[in-house]
Protein backbone atom coordinates (compact mmCIF):
# COMPACT_ATOMS: atom_id res chain seq x y z
CA UNK A 1 0.00 0.00 0.00
CA UNK A 2 3.03 2.24 0.20
CA UNK A 3 2.76 3.21 -3.50
CA UNK A 4 -0.88 4.25 -3.31
CA UNK A 5 -1.72 7.95 -3.36
CA UNK A 6 -2.56 9.88 -0.19
CA UNK A 7 -6.29 10.18 0.47
CA UNK A 8 -8.51 12.96 1.81
CA UNK A 9 -10.66 11.30 4.49
CA UNK A 10 -13.52 12.78 6.53
CA UNK A 11 -15.11 10.99 9.48
CA UNK A 12 -18.70 11.97 10.38
CA UNK A 13 -20.30 11.08 13.71
CA UNK A 14 -22.63 12.67 16.22
CA UNK A 15 -21.37 12.71 19.78
CA UNK A 16 -17.62 13.06 20.52
CA UNK A 17 -17.75 10.77 23.56
CA UNK A 18 -17.29 7.07 24.18
CA UNK A 19 -16.23 4.30 21.83
CA UNK A 20 -17.02 5.97 18.50
CA UNK A 21 -14.86 8.97 19.38
CA UNK A 22 -12.06 6.64 20.48
CA UNK A 23 -12.34 4.63 17.24
CA UNK A 24 -12.15 7.75 15.07
CA UNK A 25 -9.21 9.22 17.03
CA UNK A 26 -7.21 6.04 16.50
CA UNK A 27 -7.96 6.05 12.76
CA UNK A 28 -7.02 9.74 12.53
CA UNK A 29 -3.65 9.16 14.19
CA UNK A 30 -2.77 6.04 12.21
CA UNK A 31 -3.85 7.42 8.83
CA UNK A 32 -2.26 10.81 9.43
CA UNK A 33 1.05 9.11 10.25
CA UNK A 34 0.70 7.20 6.97
CA UNK A 35 0.55 10.49 5.03
CA UNK A 36 -3.18 10.90 4.49
CA UNK A 37 -5.19 14.09 5.11
CA UNK A 38 -7.96 13.58 7.63
CA UNK A 39 -10.84 15.66 8.97
CA UNK A 40 -13.71 15.26 11.45
CA UNK A 41 -17.31 16.48 11.37
CA UNK A 42 -19.31 16.00 14.58
CA UNK A 43 -21.80 17.52 17.01
CA UNK A 44 -21.05 20.85 18.67
CA UNK A 45 -23.40 20.45 21.65
CA UNK A 46 -21.97 17.35 23.39
CA UNK A 47 -18.69 16.62 25.10
CA UNK A 48 -16.96 18.38 27.96
CA UNK A 49 -13.49 19.34 29.16
CA UNK A 50 -12.12 15.82 28.72
CA UNK A 51 -13.30 15.69 25.11
CA UNK A 52 -11.88 19.16 24.46
CA UNK A 53 -8.48 17.95 25.64
CA UNK A 54 -8.75 14.89 23.41
CA UNK A 55 -9.56 17.09 20.42
CA UNK A 56 -6.54 19.25 21.22
CA UNK A 57 -4.33 16.16 21.14
CA UNK A 58 -5.38 15.13 17.64
CA UNK A 59 -5.84 18.62 16.17
CA UNK A 60 -2.29 18.66 14.69
CA UNK A 61 -3.24 15.50 12.76
CA UNK A 62 -6.44 16.98 11.30
CA UNK A 63 -5.21 18.40 7.99
CA UNK A 64 -8.83 18.80 6.88
CA UNK A 65 -9.81 20.39 10.16
CA UNK A 66 -12.45 19.88 12.83
CA UNK A 67 -15.97 20.94 11.86
CA UNK A 68 -18.65 21.00 14.56
CA UNK A 69 -22.34 21.57 13.87
CA UNK A 70 -25.38 20.96 16.13
CA UNK A 71 -26.58 17.38 15.57
CA UNK A 72 -29.52 16.17 17.67
CA UNK A 73 -29.67 12.60 18.96
CA UNK A 74 -33.26 12.14 17.79
CA UNK A 75 -34.70 12.75 14.33
CA UNK A 76 -36.13 16.27 13.93
CA UNK A 77 -36.85 18.96 11.32
CA UNK A 78 -33.59 20.67 12.31
CA UNK A 79 -31.80 17.77 10.61
CA UNK A 80 -32.60 19.33 7.23
CA UNK A 81 -30.49 22.37 8.06
CA UNK A 82 -27.73 20.18 9.49
CA UNK A 83 -27.62 18.07 6.32
CA UNK A 84 -27.34 21.20 4.17
CA UNK A 85 -24.55 22.67 6.34
CA UNK A 86 -22.78 19.32 6.34
CA UNK A 87 -22.94 19.10 2.56
CA UNK A 88 -21.51 22.60 2.10
CA UNK A 89 -18.67 21.95 4.55
CA UNK A 90 -17.80 18.58 3.06
CA UNK A 91 -18.01 19.85 -0.51
CA UNK A 92 -15.44 22.54 0.25
CA UNK A 93 -13.00 19.92 1.61
CA UNK A 94 -13.13 17.79 -1.57
CA UNK A 95 -12.78 14.38 0.14
CA UNK A 96 -11.96 11.03 -1.41
CA UNK A 97 -13.63 9.17 1.46
CA UNK A 98 -16.65 9.90 3.66
CA UNK A 99 -16.86 7.50 6.58
CA UNK A 100 -19.95 7.73 8.78
CA UNK A 101 -19.98 6.29 12.30
CA UNK A 102 -23.17 5.64 14.27
CA UNK A 103 -26.70 6.21 12.97
CA UNK A 104 -26.60 10.00 12.57
CA UNK A 105 -23.03 10.05 11.28
CA UNK A 106 -23.95 7.36 8.78
CA UNK A 107 -26.87 9.39 7.45
CA UNK A 108 -24.83 12.57 7.08
CA UNK A 109 -21.85 10.90 5.37
CA UNK A 110 -23.93 8.91 2.92
CA UNK A 111 -26.33 11.70 1.99
CA UNK A 112 -23.51 14.20 1.52
CA UNK A 113 -21.50 11.68 -0.46
CA UNK A 114 -24.47 10.84 -2.66
CA UNK A 115 -25.10 14.53 -3.34
CA UNK A 116 -21.47 14.88 -4.41
CA UNK A 117 -21.88 11.88 -6.70
CA UNK A 118 -24.88 13.49 -8.35
CA UNK A 119 -22.40 16.20 -9.34
CA UNK A 120 -20.13 13.45 -10.74
CA UNK A 121 -17.60 13.78 -7.96
CA UNK A 122 -15.89 10.51 -7.04
CA UNK A 123 -16.12 9.75 -3.31
CA UNK A 124 -16.33 6.50 -1.35
CA UNK A 125 -19.24 6.30 1.14
CA UNK A 126 -18.77 4.01 4.14
CA UNK A 127 -20.79 3.29 7.26
CA UNK A 128 -19.89 1.67 10.59
CA UNK A 129 -22.87 1.23 12.92
CA UNK A 130 -20.96 0.73 16.22
CA UNK A 131 -24.11 -0.91 17.60
CA UNK A 132 -26.33 2.16 17.26
CA UNK A 133 -29.43 1.35 15.23
CA UNK A 134 -28.88 -2.37 15.79
CA UNK A 135 -29.89 -1.99 19.44
CA UNK A 136 -33.47 -1.32 18.32
CA UNK A 137 -36.08 -4.10 18.30
CA UNK A 138 -38.03 -4.97 15.18
CA UNK A 139 -41.07 -5.38 17.43
CA UNK A 140 -41.43 -1.64 18.08
CA UNK A 141 -42.72 0.97 15.64
CA UNK A 142 -39.60 3.11 16.12
CA UNK A 143 -37.39 0.07 15.66
CA UNK A 144 -39.16 -0.85 12.42
CA UNK A 145 -38.66 2.70 11.12
CA UNK A 146 -34.97 2.88 12.06
CA UNK A 147 -34.10 -0.55 10.68
CA UNK A 148 -35.98 0.08 7.42
CA UNK A 149 -34.06 3.33 7.05
CA UNK A 150 -30.85 1.35 7.45
CA UNK A 151 -31.98 -0.94 4.64
CA UNK A 152 -32.89 1.99 2.39
CA UNK A 153 -29.51 3.63 2.93
CA UNK A 154 -27.70 0.61 1.51
CA UNK A 155 -28.47 2.08 -1.92
CA UNK A 156 -26.24 5.03 -0.97
CA UNK A 157 -23.48 2.96 0.64
CA UNK A 158 -20.32 1.63 -0.98
CA UNK A 159 -19.31 -0.51 2.00
CA UNK A 160 -20.52 -1.48 5.45
CA UNK A 161 -17.82 -2.01 8.09
CA UNK A 162 -18.66 -4.29 11.02
CA UNK A 163 -16.50 -4.03 14.13
CA UNK A 164 -17.26 -7.57 15.34
CA UNK A 165 -19.04 -10.74 14.27
CA UNK A 166 -21.92 -9.96 16.62
CA UNK A 167 -22.62 -6.66 14.87
CA UNK A 168 -22.52 -8.31 11.43
CA UNK A 169 -24.89 -11.07 12.56
CA UNK A 170 -27.25 -8.56 14.21
CA UNK A 171 -27.38 -6.54 11.01
CA UNK A 172 -28.30 -9.60 8.94
CA UNK A 173 -30.96 -10.62 11.47
CA UNK A 174 -32.57 -7.20 11.92
CA UNK A 175 -31.93 -5.37 8.64
CA UNK A 176 -31.28 -8.18 6.17
CA UNK A 177 -28.37 -9.63 4.26
CA UNK A 178 -26.39 -6.62 2.98
CA UNK A 179 -26.77 -5.72 -0.69
CA UNK A 180 -23.47 -3.85 -0.70
CA UNK A 181 -19.89 -4.77 0.14
CA UNK A 182 -19.08 -5.61 3.76
CA UNK A 183 -15.88 -6.00 5.78
CA UNK A 184 -15.32 -7.31 9.29
CA UNK A 185 -12.64 -5.11 10.88
CA UNK A 186 -12.25 -5.41 14.64
CA UNK A 187 -11.83 -2.39 16.87
CA UNK A 188 -8.22 -2.00 17.93
CA UNK A 189 -6.21 -0.11 20.54
CA UNK A 190 -2.82 1.55 20.12
CA UNK A 191 0.50 0.03 21.13
CA UNK A 192 0.71 2.44 24.06
CA UNK A 193 -2.46 0.85 25.47
CA UNK A 194 -0.77 -2.54 25.78
CA UNK A 195 1.10 -1.60 28.94
CA UNK A 196 0.36 -3.06 32.36
CA UNK A 197 -1.14 -0.54 34.78
CA UNK A 198 -0.49 -1.49 38.41
CA UNK A 199 -3.16 -0.80 41.00
CA UNK A 200 -2.67 1.84 43.67
CA UNK A 201 -2.11 0.95 47.30
CA UNK A 202 -5.57 2.34 48.13
CA UNK A 203 -7.30 0.43 45.29
CA UNK A 204 -10.94 -0.64 45.57
CA UNK A 205 -12.20 -4.12 44.78
CA UNK A 206 -14.15 -3.13 41.63
CA UNK A 207 -14.56 -0.26 39.22
CA UNK A 208 -17.24 0.59 36.69
CA UNK A 209 -16.00 2.95 33.93
CA UNK A 210 -18.35 4.41 31.35
CA UNK A 211 -21.50 6.34 30.60
CA UNK A 212 -24.00 6.54 33.45
CA UNK A 213 -27.09 5.37 31.57
CA UNK A 214 -29.19 2.22 31.89
CA UNK A 215 -27.99 0.70 28.60
CA UNK A 216 -24.53 0.33 30.17
CA UNK A 217 -25.90 -1.30 33.33
CA UNK A 218 -24.72 0.84 36.29
CA UNK A 219 -27.86 -0.24 38.19
CA UNK A 220 -26.89 -3.89 37.64
CA UNK A 221 -23.42 -3.06 38.95
CA UNK A 222 -24.90 -1.68 42.17
CA UNK A 223 -27.19 -4.71 42.63
CA UNK A 224 -24.41 -7.19 41.87
CA UNK A 225 -21.99 -5.43 44.22
CA UNK A 226 -24.39 -5.84 47.15
CA UNK A 227 -24.93 -9.51 46.29
CA UNK A 228 -21.17 -10.11 45.89
CA UNK A 229 -20.64 -8.77 49.43
CA UNK A 230 -23.05 -11.37 50.74
CA UNK A 231 -21.30 -14.16 48.79
CA UNK A 232 -17.86 -13.14 50.02
CA UNK A 233 -19.13 -12.48 53.53
CA UNK A 234 -17.47 -9.12 54.15
CA UNK A 235 -17.78 -5.47 53.12
CA UNK A 236 -16.22 -4.59 49.75
CA UNK A 237 -15.42 -1.33 47.97
CA UNK A 238 -16.05 0.05 44.47
CA UNK A 239 -16.01 3.15 42.30
CA UNK A 240 -18.31 4.25 39.51
CA UNK A 241 -16.34 6.48 37.14
CA UNK A 242 -18.11 8.44 34.42
CA UNK A 243 -20.78 10.96 33.57
CA UNK A 244 -24.25 10.67 32.19
CA UNK A 245 -27.93 11.60 32.45
CA UNK A 246 -28.76 9.13 35.24
CA UNK A 247 -25.90 9.89 37.62
CA UNK A 248 -28.13 11.27 40.41
CA UNK A 249 -30.52 8.33 40.18
CA UNK A 250 -27.67 5.85 40.70
CA UNK A 251 -26.36 7.88 43.62
CA UNK A 252 -29.83 7.80 45.22
CA UNK A 253 -30.00 4.04 44.60
CA UNK A 254 -26.73 3.48 46.46
CA UNK A 255 -27.73 5.67 49.38
CA UNK A 256 -31.13 3.95 49.73
CA UNK A 257 -29.40 0.56 49.90
CA UNK A 258 -26.82 1.66 52.44
CA UNK A 259 -23.94 1.46 49.95
CA UNK A 260 -23.13 5.16 49.75
CA UNK A 261 -19.90 4.80 51.75
CA UNK A 262 -18.68 1.66 49.95
CA UNK A 263 -19.35 2.73 46.35
CA UNK A 264 -17.85 6.08 45.41
CA UNK A 265 -18.53 8.15 42.30
CA UNK A 266 -15.97 10.08 40.24
CA UNK A 267 -16.35 12.08 37.01
CA UNK A 268 -15.06 10.83 33.66
CA UNK A 269 -11.28 10.64 33.44
CA UNK A 270 -8.61 8.98 31.33
CA UNK A 271 -8.94 5.23 31.51
CA UNK A 272 -5.29 4.93 32.56
CA UNK A 273 -6.12 6.89 35.72
CA UNK A 274 -9.25 4.84 36.32
CA UNK A 275 -7.51 1.50 35.83
CA UNK A 276 -5.00 2.33 38.56
CA UNK A 277 -7.86 2.37 41.06
CA UNK A 278 -8.69 -1.35 40.88
CA UNK A 279 -7.58 -4.67 39.43
CA UNK A 280 -11.17 -5.68 38.60
CA UNK A 281 -13.13 -3.90 35.87
CA UNK A 282 -16.85 -4.68 35.69
CA UNK A 283 -18.71 -4.17 32.38
CA UNK A 284 -22.40 -4.90 33.17
CA UNK A 285 -23.85 -3.69 29.84
CA UNK A 286 -27.30 -4.60 28.56
CA UNK A 287 -26.14 -4.13 24.96
CA UNK A 288 -22.81 -3.49 23.23
CA UNK A 289 -21.05 -3.84 19.90
CA UNK A 290 -17.30 -4.17 20.62
CA UNK A 291 -16.65 -1.93 23.64
CA UNK A 292 -13.23 -0.30 23.83
CA UNK A 293 -13.27 -0.42 27.61
CA UNK A 294 -12.91 -4.22 27.44
CA UNK A 295 -9.97 -4.06 25.03
CA UNK A 296 -8.31 -1.28 27.03
CA UNK A 297 -8.76 -3.24 30.23
CA UNK A 298 -7.22 -6.36 28.71
CA UNK A 299 -4.31 -4.32 27.33
CA UNK A 300 -3.69 -2.87 30.78
CA UNK A 301 -3.64 -6.32 32.39
CA UNK A 302 -6.90 -5.88 34.26
CA UNK A 303 -9.37 -8.58 35.22
CA UNK A 304 -12.52 -8.12 33.11
CA UNK A 305 -15.90 -9.18 34.49
CA UNK A 306 -18.61 -8.63 31.89
CA UNK A 307 -22.04 -9.59 30.63
CA UNK A 308 -22.31 -11.88 27.63
CA UNK A 309 -23.47 -9.23 25.15
CA UNK A 310 -22.32 -7.94 21.77
CA UNK A 311 -18.76 -8.73 20.75
CA UNK A 312 -17.44 -9.08 24.30
CA UNK A 313 -17.24 -12.91 24.04
CA UNK A 314 -15.09 -12.47 20.90
CA UNK A 315 -12.51 -10.67 23.05
CA UNK A 316 -12.70 -12.71 26.28
CA UNK A 317 -13.45 -16.09 24.72
CA UNK A 318 -16.91 -17.42 23.93
CA UNK A 319 -16.91 -19.84 26.88
CA UNK A 320 -15.06 -17.59 29.32
CA UNK A 321 -16.09 -17.93 33.01
CA UNK A 322 -15.66 -14.14 33.18
CA UNK A 323 -18.95 -13.71 31.30
CA UNK A 324 -22.24 -13.38 33.18
CA UNK A 325 -25.77 -13.65 31.84
CA UNK A 326 -27.18 -10.28 30.71
CA UNK A 327 -29.67 -8.57 33.03
CA UNK A 328 -28.78 -11.06 35.79
CA UNK A 329 -27.33 -9.35 38.86
CA UNK A 330 -27.06 -12.71 40.71
CA UNK A 331 -24.87 -14.24 38.00
CA UNK A 332 -22.79 -11.08 37.73
CA UNK A 333 -22.30 -11.10 41.52
CA UNK A 334 -21.11 -14.71 41.35
CA UNK A 335 -18.41 -13.83 38.81
CA UNK A 336 -17.42 -10.70 40.76
CA UNK A 337 -17.02 -12.80 43.91
CA UNK A 338 -15.03 -15.51 42.11
CA UNK A 339 -12.56 -12.92 40.79
CA UNK A 340 -11.48 -11.94 44.30
CA UNK A 341 -11.94 -15.15 46.28
CA UNK A 342 -10.37 -17.75 43.93
CA UNK A 343 -6.53 -17.66 43.86
CA UNK A 344 -5.07 -17.40 40.36
CA UNK A 345 -8.47 -16.63 38.78
CA UNK A 346 -7.07 -13.82 36.59
CA UNK A 347 -4.19 -15.92 35.21
CA UNK A 348 -6.49 -18.86 34.49
CA UNK A 349 -9.34 -16.93 32.88
CA UNK A 350 -8.03 -13.81 31.09
CA UNK A 351 -6.66 -14.17 27.51
CA UNK A 352 -2.91 -13.48 27.12
CA UNK A 353 -2.11 -9.88 26.18
CA UNK A 354 -0.13 -10.95 23.10
CA UNK A 355 -3.13 -12.84 21.82
CA UNK A 356 -5.31 -9.76 22.27
CA UNK A 357 -2.72 -7.56 20.55
CA UNK A 358 -2.52 -9.80 17.49
CA UNK A 359 -6.23 -9.27 16.77
CA UNK A 360 -7.32 -6.02 18.43
CA UNK A 361 -4.54 -3.52 17.64
CA UNK A 362 -5.13 -0.08 16.12
CA UNK A 363 -2.43 -0.63 13.50
CA UNK A 364 -4.18 -3.75 12.18
CA UNK A 365 -7.54 -1.96 12.25
CA UNK A 366 -6.25 1.14 10.43
CA UNK A 367 -4.44 -0.89 7.79
CA UNK A 368 -7.54 -2.93 7.01
CA UNK A 369 -9.75 0.19 6.86
CA UNK A 370 -7.30 1.95 4.55
CA UNK A 371 -7.13 -1.09 2.28
CA UNK A 372 -10.92 -0.95 1.98
CA UNK A 373 -10.84 2.77 1.10
CA UNK A 374 -8.37 2.12 -1.72
CA UNK A 375 -10.27 -0.93 -2.98
CA UNK A 376 -13.46 1.10 -3.30
CA UNK A 377 -11.78 4.03 -5.04
CA UNK A 378 -9.81 1.86 -7.43
CA UNK A 379 -13.05 0.40 -8.78
CA UNK A 380 -14.01 3.88 -9.94
CA UNK A 381 -10.73 4.61 -11.72
CA UNK A 382 -11.99 3.58 -15.15
CA UNK A 383 -15.02 5.83 -14.82
CA UNK A 384 -14.28 9.52 -15.46
CA UNK A 385 -15.26 11.88 -12.67
CA UNK A 386 -15.67 15.64 -12.75
CA UNK A 387 -14.67 17.43 -9.59
CA UNK A 388 -17.18 19.77 -7.96
CA UNK A 389 -16.42 23.41 -8.66
CA UNK A 390 -15.10 25.25 -5.67
Instruction: Report how far residue 128's alpha carbon sits from residue 108's, in angstroms, rounded to the nearest whole number.
Output: 12
Q: What is the pLDDT of residues 78-109, one digit of tens each?
A: 677 777 888 888 898 999 999 999 988 999 99
Report which of 164, 182, 128 is spatially closest to residue 375, judged by C-alpha positions. Answer: 182
Per-residue confidence (pLDDT) for residue 80, from 0 to 100: 76
Give the torsion sign (CA, 364, 43, 47, 216). negative
Per-residue confidence (pLDDT) for residue 387, from 0 to 100: 47
Per-residue confidence (pLDDT) for residue 389, from 0 to 100: 44
Per-residue confidence (pLDDT) for residue 381, from 0 to 100: 60
Domains and CATH numbers, the chain: 8-188+361-378 (3.40.50.2000), 192-357 (3.40.50.2000)
Per-residue confidence (pLDDT) for residue 137, from 0 to 100: 87
Q: Give the residue ranges of the chain where pLDDT is below 70.
A: 1-3, 74-78, 381-390
Per-residue confidence (pLDDT) for residue 81, from 0 to 100: 74
Confidence (pTM): 0.84
Are 329 and 223 within 8 A, CB to CB? yes
Amino acid sequence: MANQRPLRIIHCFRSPVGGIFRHVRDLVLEHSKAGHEVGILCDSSTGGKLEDRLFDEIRPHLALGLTRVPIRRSVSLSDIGVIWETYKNIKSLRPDVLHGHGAKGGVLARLAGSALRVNRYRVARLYTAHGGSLHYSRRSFLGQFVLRMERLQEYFTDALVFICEYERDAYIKKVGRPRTETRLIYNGIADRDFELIPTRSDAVHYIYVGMLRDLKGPDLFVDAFAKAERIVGRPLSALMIGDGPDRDRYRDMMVERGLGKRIGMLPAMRVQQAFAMSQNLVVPSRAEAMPYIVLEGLGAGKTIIATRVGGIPEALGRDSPALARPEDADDLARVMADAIRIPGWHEAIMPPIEQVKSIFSASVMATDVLRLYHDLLEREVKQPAIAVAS
